[in-house]
C-alpha cells in the first residue's frame, strides 16, 4: 500500500466510524422522543434532531464502507461455470472459423 493510500484508507474508516456514532446518536434521539411521547409530553426537538442525524450517519456509513471480500463459498461451482463458459467460447470460435473458411471458398 502506498503512503497516500494508507492515509486515504484511514480517513475513510474514520469517517465511517463517525457515521456510526452519528447514526447511534440519531437513533438515541428517536428513542427519547418515543419515550417522551409515551409519557404524553412529546418533545419534538428530539424528533427533529434524531431523523437528520440518522440520515447523515447512514449516509456517512454507506458511502465510506469497504467493499466486501469475495466469498470462498461455492468456489467449486464458480470454477466449473468458468470452465464451461470457456468451452462454449472455444466451440463458438471453432464454428465461426469453419463458417468463415466455407464462406471464403469460391
Please tell me whether residues 98 and 50 are part of one structural domain: no
* pLDDT, the chain, mean: 83
Secondary structure letter of residue 68 according to DSSP: P
Q: Is the pLDDT of residue 9 over 90?
A: no
Please tell me whether residues 7 and 31 are part of one structural domain: yes
Residue whose cell numbers read 475513510: 12
The predicted structure's pLDDT at residue 35: 96
Q: Give the Cα separation of 23 and 66 in Å (integer).
A: 18
The predicted structure's pLDDT at residue 69: 75
Please tell me whether residues 62 and 86 are part of one structural domain: no
pTM (global) more than 0.85: no
| Residue ranges making up the domain that contains 48 | 1-66
- Angular region, 40: left φ>0, alpha ψ -120 to 50, beta rest: left
Please tell me whether residues 59 and 82 are part of one structural domain: no
Four-residue CA torsion sign, 62, 68, 73, 75: positive
- The count of other CB atoms within 10 Å of the CB of residue 61 is 18
Q: Is the pLDDT of residue 1 over 60?
A: no
What would the pLDDT profile of 61-93 be if each residue is shown by its tens digit? 888 776 667 777 777 887 888 888 888 888 888
pLDDT-derived band at 40, boundaries 50, 70, 90: very high
pLDDT-derived band at 19, boundaries 50, 70, 90: very high
C-alpha grid cell, residue 80: 466449473
Q: Give the Cα separation of 62 and 34 in Å (integer).
A: 26
Please tell me whether residues 59 and 80 are part of one structural domain: no
Q: How many CA atoms lie within 13 A of 56 on its CB side?
A: 13
Amino acid at each position: 500500500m502506498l503512503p497516500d493510500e494508507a492515509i486515504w484508507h484511514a480517513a475513510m474508516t474514520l469517517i465511517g466510524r463517525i457515521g456510526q456514532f452519528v447514526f447511534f446518536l440519531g437513533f438515541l434521539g428517536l428513542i427519547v422522543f418515543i419515550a417522551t411521547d409515551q409519557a404524553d409530553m412529546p418533545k419534538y426537538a428530539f424528533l427533529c434532531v434524531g431523523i437528520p442525524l440518522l440520515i447523515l450517519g447512514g449516509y456517512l456509513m454507506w458511502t465510506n464502507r469497504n467493499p466486501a471480500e469475495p466469498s470462498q463459498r461455492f468456489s467449486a461451482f464458480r470454477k466449473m461455470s468458468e470452465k464451461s463458459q470457456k468451452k462454449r467460447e472455444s466451440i463458438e470460435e471453432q464454428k465461426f472459423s469453419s463458417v468463415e473458411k466455407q464462406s471464403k471458398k469460391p
